[in-house]
A and B are shown apart, each in its own frame.
Chain A
Amino acid sequence: MTHDASVRKDSGGNAVPAGDRTFWGRVANWGPYQAFSALLTASPRRQFLILAAFPILWLLTQHLGPMLQMLRVSLTDAYPVAPGTQQEFTLENYMRFFGDRIFWMPFFRTLTFAAVFTFCTLIITYPVAYFLARHVSRRNQMLMLLLLLVPFWVGEIVRTYAIMILLGNTGAVNLVLKWLGLIDRPIPFMYTSFSMGVGIVYLTALYMLLPLYSALEKLPQSMNEAAADLGAGAWTRFRRISLPMTIEGISSGCTLVFLISTGFYATPVLLGGPSTTVFAETIAGFFHVAGDEWPTGAAFAVIMFAAALLITGVFQKLMNMLRKGDTK
């Protein structure tokens, strides 16, 4: 009741119509709200500060914080610190990496695998994206893209398991090969770099497909037609138009897939074998045992992240140079 009274009295103050009896009208004319609003929006500067304070705080403490803390722990000699002892800063955790073959072998193996799998993903998905973007009507495009999206909503573990069933000794592939009379004994696909590759390409294909698709979709059809009129064959058109024009899509797809591939843990554990141990397993090993190995694990994670960023950074620079060289 008191609200109603205040609405009427307030008619001259704000630009809100006097007779506004809607919910929002009442809120806008309610005394405490007006005081609150005036406090928030006294000046554009204050308005911005109030808007920005929480996001900046969140980004610093939640997004940057974990990475910085990992870096800090990687430089200490013990974590968590035992009571009564002094925590000291050291580079020894990083030295350990170079000291032992069982540490740097998985590291280089991971980077090599990630590069090879990224390339395979690119080769496999490019024609698919090309077909969708260039040869399918707009109506069907969404449906056919959706068809590919559905399996990618299914989780990492379930899809990895599906690959285990596909490639096992009594799996579907071996069954078909045997039935065709091509083999007598099953081929041991599982627990090799091959099964791991099939699994990782299966998991990452979408992250390549979508950037490629959106790059190819933007490509004007008229360019291809003009080139065809000038006598360029399909291969020339692809090499001279589609490929250079989609370098940006290729570059972002490859970056994404490379970063994701280096971070897989469960898939290499389930699909790989002793000869394909990746660095993620090495890092995880330091966190399964008692806490005093954490600094080493953190250092290895930092090495891995720095290497992955360096490689993708250089790769993007190269692709950029390639693109600029082409348009000149």
Chain B
Amino acid sequence: MNHRVELNRGNRIFLACIYWAFVLYVFVPLILMILMGFKDSKFIGFPIRSWTLDWYKGVFSDTDVMFTFGYSVAIAILSTLISVIVGTWIAVLLQGRKFWGRAVTFALMVLPALVPGIISAIAFRIYARMLGIEPGMGAIVWAHAVHNVPFVSLVVMARLSTLPKSQIEAARDLGADPLIAFLRVTLPYLVPAILGASIFCLLLSLDDFVRSFFLGGYEPTLPVLIFAMLRSGMSPEINAIATVALVLTAAIGIWAERFTRRNNKETKV
């Protein structure tokens, strides 16, 4: 018996080491990237001997870069609005309803999430040409919206599956027609899932490179701008821009995580 406990502890320590090594692997590159943005030299590389905030001052006083930030955020918000409405609608259709062709409908729903990035971008590029959508903001918003729909639908479907049927029945018994029952019972119940999915869509859109790259016009989104700058050489200025982008996305993510957790607690009580 003792021997077994002993063995288990050995295993546990070994696995814990692997976990923390993995945490290092995940964090160290980002931390180094952030540190490099404070280096007082145009040359990227270690060691860092003197520090400066000049690169950040440069970024925040550069109107082009600030415009790109706004442009990316605007695209993210617009595409998220579309994805959330369409994704929720599809989820309501698919969840808990049996109809002819449901399996095919479900497969079609998840399709955009499964198509590898480059192929998805190419397909959208060709389709946009066919529809007569010029490359630019509209095209990017459209591509992001379509690509993000499956994520919304899946999250909302998961939440819908836990909605007690009796609540809808009670509302109907009290005289609510299906539309009012949906608006007053189902929709409020879905709010946490919809908000969580919106945050996820915002992050997906802000982080997306390949669709923005192939569907963008002359105006770059943030990842496309960083990519273009990287192709012409590394510089601490890129680190500063990338760090601001990183802080933006991580802040949205952490806030969403806290928000959903608080909400989960409330619904449990």
Q: Which residues of B contact A297 (CB under 8 A)?
A: 122
Chain B residue at minimal CB-CB distance from A268: B118
Q: Which of A1-9, A90-98, A243-251, A301-309 contacts its partner?
A: A301-309
In angstroms, how far is the closest chain B Cβ from the Cβ of A221?
A: 12
Contacts A151-B30, A166-B29 given; indicate if A47 touches B178 (C-beta within 8 A).
yes
**A105 at the B interface (CB under 8 A):** no
CB-defined contacts of A284 to chain B, threshold 8 Å: 118, 214
* A67→B29 contact, CB < 8 A: no
Closest to B223 in A: A157
B22 lies within 8 A of A124 (CB): yes
Q: Given A66-B127, A70-B126, do A170 and B22 touch, yes or no (CB 8 Å)?
A: no
B246 part of interface (Cβ distance < 8 Å): yes
A264-B118 in contact given A48-B99, A287-B214 (Cβ < 8 Å): yes
Interface of chain A residues 55 through 86 with chain B (CB within 8 A): 55-56, 58-60, 62-67, 69-70, 73, 79-80
Determine whether the beta carbon of B257 is less than 8 Å from that of A146.
yes
**Chain A interfacial residues counted at CB < 8 A:** 91
CB pair B250 A150 closer than 8 Å: yes
Distance A127 CA – B230 CA, assembled complex (angstroms): 35
- Give, as a whole number of angstroms, the nearest-CB distance from B231 to chain A: 8
Residue among A27, A40, A63, A64 facing the most chain B CB atoms (10 A cut-off): A63
Is the CB–CB distance between A37 and B26 below 8 Å?
Answer: no
B residues in contact with A124, CB < 8 Å: 22
Q: Are A266 and B227 closer than 8 Å at their CB atoms? A: yes
Residues in B193-250 with C-beta less than 8 Å from chain A: 203, 206-210, 213-214, 222-223, 226-227, 230-231, 234, 238-239, 242, 245-246, 249-250
B22, A128: Cβ atoms under 8 Å? Answer: yes
- Cβ contacts under 8 Å, A41 to chain B: 177-179
Contacting residue for B92 out of A51, A259, A287, CB 8 A: A51
CB distance from B53 to the nearest CB of A (A): 19
27 residue pairs bridging A and B, Cβ less than 8 Å apart: A27-B180, A47-B178, A52-B93, A52-B99, A56-B105, A58-B149, A63-B109, A63-B111, A67-B115, A79-B126, A128-B19, A148-B22, A150-B253, A153-B249, A154-B30, A154-B207, A154-B249, A155-B208, A158-B33, A162-B33, A165-B44, A168-B45, A169-B45, A172-B28, A259-B114, A262-B116, A304-B116
